[in-house]
Amino acid sequence: MTTKIPVELSSTPGIVDSSNATAITIDSSENSTFAGNIVKGNLTISGTEIDLSSGDLTLDVAGDIILDADGGDINLKDGGTVFGNFSSANNDLNISTTAQDEDIVFQGNDGGSTITALTLDMSDAGAAIFNEKVGIGTAAPTAPLHIKTSTDDAYSLRIEGATNNSANYHGIGLAGESSNTKAAILFKDIAVSYARGDMLFCLNSAADQTSATDADAVMTLKNNGDVRIGTSTSAYTFAEKLIVGDANDNDGITIQSGTTHQGNIAFNDGGTTAKGRISYQQSTNFFEFLVNNVVRLKIDANGRQAYNGSGSINAHATFVGEVGSSYKALAFERTVGGGEVGTIVANASSTTYNTSSDYRLKENIDYSWDATTRLKQLKPARFNWIADDTNTLLEGFLAHEVSSIVPEAVSGEKDAMGEALLYEHGDEIPEGKSVGDVKKAAAPEYQGIDHSKLVPLMVKTIQELEARIATLEG
């Protein structure tokens, strides 16, 4: 059905109103020009404005909605007052608010609930406040800030200060609550090129301070690689790589290792094998001191000491350190059975070597035994030591020739050899060696002799000879 609108034609084609004024003009290209506003209910369209006095306005198009502002600004108003603006400047799209301290808020729907994803706080210089996680270089952040780089060997996060000055520091603050920064990782500049400075790890223990500063440093990593824990001052010149403690409290270092393993302090010259080492063996409760990777001193849980790798310790020496008339400088104790068995005494101008001889330690005492027969079996000899290049002749005995006559005077066995020392798990093993290989070859265990043990035999022999002489003279 076609509805026709009756019009009155004038000399100019168009639609005129009752006062014979032209209301709508239609030109030859079928373009329509309205002399006044277009009004439909509460919708008014003027030459520069679409005005809706109440309700909502819907723009529903089959294609796109394009806003083309040649002036470069699109303003958002409320009651005639601009509250937001989209503009173009220097080929950039600017989104701004015009009201003082008015924030820009980005919201969305998460599972049916409205959430604020991002707030730009204009009262705080545009500080960005994210609701939950931020992913940089990743679409699936797993932490409040997740940074993933597309290349290796590059910074993932850079923190830069405003000036290059030794009085300045900058870094990362860690807060236990909103008002207090209780910890910080700081870089403290030393005012030279290439941003040289120290790394400070700080803890603020005071409840009324709002931030941890360089004065709160509990560990400092110096720009030359030195580490200082609990102090910021220097120490002994040749031992500054690690300084622990502030010289005011009880301080120390704890090395923890498994019950079947060892804890070590190693001294090295850059190779893979320790030149010197202090080692605690958890399984045997031994302290070992190694020189050139060989055990030279071993101390067990009872304080007994072994030197040069000896495996068994049945006695030990106590270094008393007393000096003066009748003072013990060194005391020896027999661990099996207990008690002191000998001392070295430092006198005013001499040294006395003592061994236990108290009658209360002895039993089965016998004064009638044949000393002369045994003494005659001894074979005193003259000899020189193989290691003595001068071949100086000495008098003495061969230990194994004495062992059957005065066995208590001789230690060790004739032609004895020690066991080879093998590499074990936990050792510093040189390249080409493995566990079970020989670490130190078997070496002779030489016999020794205590000449003082021959004195009673000689005294008794002299007494027997004296008795015979007296008989002959009588």
90 has a pLDDT exceeding 50 = yes
Element containing residue 340 per DSSP (H, E) = strand 340-346
Residue 128 lies in a domain: yes
Terminal-to-terminal C-alpha distance of the chain? 179
Q: How confident is the model at residue 464 (pLDDT cuts 50, 70, 90)?
A: very high
The total of structural domains in the chain comes to: 7
CA 131 to the chain's CA centroid = 34
- Locate 23 and state its tokens: 């209301």
* Closest by Cα among 371, 367, 365 to 468: 371
Residue 126 lies in a domain: yes
Residue 455 lies in a domain: yes
pTM: 0.56
pLDDT tens-digit profile of 46-87? 878 888 888 888 889 999 999 888 888 999 988 889 999 999
Q: How confident is the model at residue 120 (pLDDT cuts 50, 70, 90)?
A: very high
CA 291 to the chain's CA centroid = 27
Element containing residue 471 per DSSP (H, E) = helix 455-473
pLDDT tens-digit profile of 268-286? 888 788 889 999 999 989 8
Q: Are residues 385 and 469 in the same domain?
A: yes
Highest-confidence segment of 193-202, 326-335, 441-450: 441-450
**CATH code, 417:** 1.10.10
Q: Are 63 and 69 in contact (CB under 8 A)?
A: no
Least confident of 95-104, 128-137, 174-183: 174-183
Q: Are residues 193 and 241 in the same domain?
A: yes
Residue 395 lies in a domain: yes
Q: Are residues 378 and 460 in the same domain?
A: yes
The secondary structure of residue 419, as a DSSP letter, is P
Q: Are residues 383 and 352 in the same domain?
A: no
Sheet architecture: strand order including 180-189 = 169-177, 180-189, 197-203, 217-221, 227-229, 242-244
Residue the block writes with tokens 């027999």 = 334
* Closest by Cα among 245, 262, 243, 263 to 254: 263
What mean pLDDT is predicted for residues 427-456? 91
Looking at every residue in the chain, the average pLDDT score rounds to 85
Q: Are residues 411 and 467 in the same domain?
A: yes
Q: Are 298 and 286 in contact (CB under 8 A)?
A: yes
Residue 34 lies in a domain: yes
Element containing residue 376 per DSSP (H, E) = helix 372-377
Residue partners of 37: CB distance under 8 A and separation at least 6: 44, 45, 46
- What is the Cα–Cα distance from 280 to 288, expressed in whole angstroms? 6
Parallel, antiparallel or unpaired: strands 180-189 and 197-203: antiparallel
242-247 — which CB contacts under 8 Å span 24+ positions? Answer: none
Q: How confident is the model at residue 4 (pLDDT cuts 50, 70, 90)?
A: very low
471 has a pLDDT exceeding 90 = yes
160 has a pLDDT exceeding 70 = yes
Helix (H, G, I), strand (E, B) or coil at 310: coil
Residue 65 lies in a domain: no
Q: Are residues 385 and 454 in the same domain?
A: yes
- Domain encompassing residue 85: 71-102
Q: Are residues 145 and 169 in the same domain?
A: no
Residue the block writes with tokens 């004065």 = 215
pLDDT, residue 71, reads: 87
Q: Are residues 320 and 303 in the same domain?
A: no
Least confident of 46-50, 134-138, 462-466, 470-474: 46-50
pLDDT, residue 1, reads: 40
143 has a pLDDT exceeding 70 = yes
